[in-house]
């Protein structure tokens, strides 16, 4: 599994240093390295990176401005690691859902810690059937109500901002459960994490279409207008489960 990386850094020497350090890791693929935030946004849809190393202080458009724009535009966000010369930006970085921040000048040891975190995050937990834990009803908290849902009626669940949306055969429910918690409750049913932001019921899969760079899209029965992404990390397991 390779990790596709984009870099946005206006200082040429800092950009080249980061490129050099990342190229020491065999599973890192630098798909684009640009000098400002606007160029990054232009390249983003074409490159589809897993991770963005984003300099906070850039002319025209700061790294935090870019992160806010990504949150508006992207259905699924790449992981963001902010880079900065000033440690006081760390709190703002985590407030924008960054997974880490790196101080300049870069330390190879510190960079390796960030990469290890990325590798761990890109390994999606797979729901394994467990008949002893199989439930017949699921209670989902939706605002001030508790809604009873049949697990087999759930098509998929998707992380949206700080909430998880659960889509059944008849409605959409916003729940405070995380995808990890939801997956645990649905153990015993054919759900799989196809992507870090998606949990999908394999019983409703109609077809799988190839996308690019080892990724796929799932088309669901009765919901042909919905495409569920399958990440490279999850692709092998998803395809194997669909054939079993």
Mean pLDDT by 10 residues, the chain (244 residues): 91 94 93 93 89 90 87 75 77 68 89 91 64 78 86 94 88 89 91 93 92 85 88 84 78
The whole-number pLDDT of residue 129 equals 53
pTM of the model: 0.53
Cα separation, 120 vs 165, in Å, equals 24
- Cα dihedral 43, 45, 48, 49, rounded to 10, equals 40
Quickly tell me which residue has 């088309």 as its tokens.
219
Q: What is the pLDDT of residue 28?
A: 95
Domains of the chain: 3-121 (3.40.50.2300), 131-243 (2.40.50.1020)
């Amino acid at each position: 599994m390779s990790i596709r990386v984009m870099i946005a850094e206006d200082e040429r020497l800092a950009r080249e240093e980061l490129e050099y350090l990342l190229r020491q890791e065999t599973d890192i693929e630098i798909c684009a390295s640009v000098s400002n935030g606007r160029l990054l946004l232009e390249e983003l849809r074409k490159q589809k990176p897993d991770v963005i190393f984003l300099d906070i202080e850039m002319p025209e458009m700061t790294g935090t401005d870019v992160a806010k724009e990504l949150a508006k535009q992207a259905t699924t966000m790449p992981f963001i690691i902010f880079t900065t010369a000033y440690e006081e930006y760390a709190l703002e970085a985590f407030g924008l859902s960054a997974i880490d921040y790196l101080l300049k000048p870069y330390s190879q040891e510190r960079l390796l810690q960030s990469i290890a975190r990325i590798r761990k995050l890109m390994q999606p937990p797979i729901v394994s059937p467990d008949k002893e834990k199989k439930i017949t009803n699921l209670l989902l908290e939706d605002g001030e109500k508790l809604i009873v849902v049949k697990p087999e009626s759930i098509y998929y669940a998707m992380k949206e901002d700080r909430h998880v949306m659960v889509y059944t055969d008849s409605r959409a429910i916003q729940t405070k459960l995380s995808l990890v918690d939801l997956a645990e409750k649905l153990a015993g049913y054919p759900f799989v994490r196809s992507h870090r932001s998606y949990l999908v019921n394999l019983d409703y899969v109609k077809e799988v279409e190839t996308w690019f760079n080892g990724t796929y899209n799932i088309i669901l029965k009765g919901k042909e207008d919905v495409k569920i992404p399958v990440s490279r990390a999850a692709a092998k397991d998803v395809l194997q489960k669909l054939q079993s």
